[in-house]
């Protein structure tokens, strides 16, 4: 858990110290409670898992289904209104902003929710819907609606989401707030 706290400190310029993160970051609380709920889900104590997830949602405003699979160092920044569906899979070092939905598009059993690969940034209000894959180190801009696969090292924005930039694989670890490339010219 300390690695998660360190990764939050590194990725959030507003984080003043570790104690502040531990006490005041609902994204951290939601991920910690999810880990507990997920353990109960794995051992087939689904009702207890759902109770923990429900309490987490009340406390944090972040809804994560206990069956969702989450990698290391997920940072949910601000957090309010984030929904992560049952069959979602999230890789390592993913950054999700407030209002993001990883939702399903079917009522059928089986894989219905997105797979988010490592080092992805998802901007505020983005909706990623269906059993699609977001490639590693991709960026999803704020309020984008994504219903198709996104290749690795790609930035998508808009409704429906469209590729606006292929990222340089070597330099793509740079932080881009809200999934929006810092070098876009919005005045054109």
CA-nearest of 60, 67, 120, 117 to 96 is 120
Q: For domain 2-174, give the fold.
A: UDP N-Acetylglucosamine Acyltransferase; domain 1 (2.160.10)
Residues 85 and 67: their CA atoms lie apart, in Å, by 8
Residues 39 and 33: their CA atoms lie apart, in Å, by 10
Residue 176 confidence (pLDDT)? 63
Judge contact between 120 and 138, C-beta under 8 A: yes
pTM flag (> 0.85): yes
pLDDT per residue over 50-74, tens digit each? Answer: 999 999 999 999 999 999 999 999 9
> Does the bond joining 170 to the residue before it have cis omega, within 30 degrees of 0?
no
């Amino acid at each position: 858990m300390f690695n998660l706290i360190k990764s939050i400190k590194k990725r959030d310029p507003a984080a003043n110290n570790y104690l502040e993160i531990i006490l005041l970051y609902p994204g951290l609380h939601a991920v910690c409670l999810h880990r507990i709920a997920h353990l109960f889900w794995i051992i087939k104590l689904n009702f207890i898992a759902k109770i923990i997830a429900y309490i987490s949602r009340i406390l944090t405003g972040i809804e994560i289904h206990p069956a969702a699979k989450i990698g290391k160092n997920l940072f949910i920044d601000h957090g309010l209104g984030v929904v992560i569906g049952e069959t979602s899979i999230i890789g390592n070092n993913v950054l999700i902003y407030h209002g993001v939905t990883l939702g399903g598009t079917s009522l059928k059993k089986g894989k219905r929710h997105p797979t988010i690969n490592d080092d992805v940034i998802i901007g505020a209000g983005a909706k990623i819907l269906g059993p699609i894959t977001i490639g590693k180190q991709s960026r999803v801009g704020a309020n984008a609606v994504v219903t198709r696969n996104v290749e690795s090292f790609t930035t998508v924005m808009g409704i429906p989401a469209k590729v606006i930039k292929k990222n340089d694989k070597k330099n793509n670890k740079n932080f881009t707030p809200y999934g929006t490339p810092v070098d876009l010219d919005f005045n054109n």
